[in-house]
A = this chain, B = another copy of it.
Amino acid sequence: MRDRIGRGTGDTNGVRSVVELPVMKPITIKDVAERAGVSPKTVSRVINGEAHVRPEIRESVARVVAEMNYRPNAFARGLSSSRAFLVGLFFDDPASGYAATIQRGAIEQARALGQHIVIEAITFKRSDWRERLVDSLHALRLGGAILTSPICDRADLLDIFEQHDVPVVRIAPGAELDRTPQVRMDDRDAARVVTEHLLALGHRDIAFVRGNPTHSATERRWQGFADAMSAAGLTPPPERIVQGDFRFRSGFDVAEALFDRGSRPSAVFASNDEMALGVMVAAMSRQIAVPRAVSIVGFDDAEIARMAWPQLTTIRQPNHAMGAQAVDLVIQQQAAGGAGNPCRILPYELVIRGSSAPYAAT
């Protein structure tokens, strides 16, 4: 019975489970100031590129800074100026490949801007996710937050960030569209383009595997598919539209409805690569040749798209760029004070590989 305080779960309340970690002894701004023969404030001015410093002094201070290899302490900075140097990257599932590429883009851009990325997982399954999030916001004083799909569509989540005055940039959001700046690609248009690719190959009987309904991209991709089909004067029957959840397994499972009942479609468009692979594996296990007997296309250009055989025709998402742009936006936001909600739309790319081929009558 150790004494804890407050909040039933109280794990990050700074209470007791926080272990102490000693740190190193650094060079302070005072040391630099002394050696340069000026006041600390002047050094601060030079470091932050502020005006009102004579060029000679600026230069000499800069030299001393370099010589002493001085690095300002970000904590002290954050404390006194309420400026931040951390950007939070929030994921539902940080282990997915999708997330990883975004992450890399974000890290690199953050670095370029002198910021750092803190990764946080939000798990709605835990009933205390709000407390945990608020904990992070308070403790880390985030300068901004980047949210990815699907969590970025929850109004209650956005509320929390808003209440705490943390600027948010969302990547590919699907709801509450005018609430924050965002970075996205045109899913609908891309889906249309892939579908047109299949149509151009001569396919008419095309099945569509929908994604997880909680991701907003699901609807947009479906729309793009529908656009292309109806533009071609086609109306796919209901049994050609099946429901997946973006995971490999679901692609594998829906294949039963697609391949084991009556006539087979000549092509399948799965809303993401994982599901496309699931469909492909299911086809092969039924001795249905890909792409000879059935063409399969995906969406995302995940790493695995190139590791399948045949390799997957798909849409390349600009994940890396989206991560970088998101950081960029969030910092701008921080500086500008939130004028408007810019939306950057990044270009996608149709990647044609071996899994799609001209329609051949059976």
Contact = CB atoms under 8 A, between A and B. Distances in A.
Interface of A: 1-7, 11-24, 26, 46-51, 55, 58, 61-63, 65-66, 69, 71-79, 81-86, 93-97, 99-101, 103-104, 107-108, 111-121, 132, 134-144, 162-167, 248, 274, 277-278, 280-281, 284-285, 303-304, 306-309, 331-332, 334-339
A105 B119 CA distance: 12
A75 B72 contact: no
B337 A12 contact: yes
Nearest to A83: B20
- Most chain B CB within 10 A, of A79, A132, A162, A167, is at A79
B21 A83 contact: yes
Contacts of A162: 21
B15 A339 contact: yes
Contacts of A111: 11-12, 121, 132
A132 to B, nearest CB: 7
A336 B140 contact: no
B139 A23 contact: no
Given A5-B61, A134-B71, A119 B95 contact: no
B49 A335 contact: no
Copies in the complex: 2
13 contacts: A4-B49, A4-B50, A5-B46, A7-B66, A11-B114, A13-B65, A14-B74, A15-B49, A17-B112, A20-B334, A79-B79, A116-B118, A248-B307
Given A49-B4, A107-B94, A114-B12, A72 B24 contact: no
A76 B179 CA distance: 32
A165 B134 CA distance: 31
Given A50-B4, A62-B5, A23 B84 contact: yes
Contact of A11 (B112, B142, B164, B304): B112
A29 B76 CA distance: 18
Contact of A307 (B2, B48, B278): B278
A116 B136 contact: yes
A259 to B, nearest CB: 14
Nearest to A165: B24
Nearest to A93: B104
Contact of A49 (B16, B137, B338): B16
B23 A165 contact: yes
A120 B110 CA distance: 10
Given A94-B107, A107-B121, A281-B307, A138 B4 contact: no
A143 B23 contact: yes
- Most chain B CB within 10 A, of A5, A100, A134, is at A5
Contacts of A14: 47-48, 71-72, 74, 77, 114
B337 A11 contact: yes
A21 B167 CA distance: 9
A351 to B, nearest CB: 16
B113 A19 contact: yes
Closest 9 CB pairs of A and B: A11-B337, A21-B143, A5-B62, A6-B66, A71-B138, A18-B114, A281-B309, A24-B165, A74-B139
Given A95-B101, A284-B309, A21 B163 contact: yes
B139 A72 contact: yes
A99 to B, nearest CB: 7
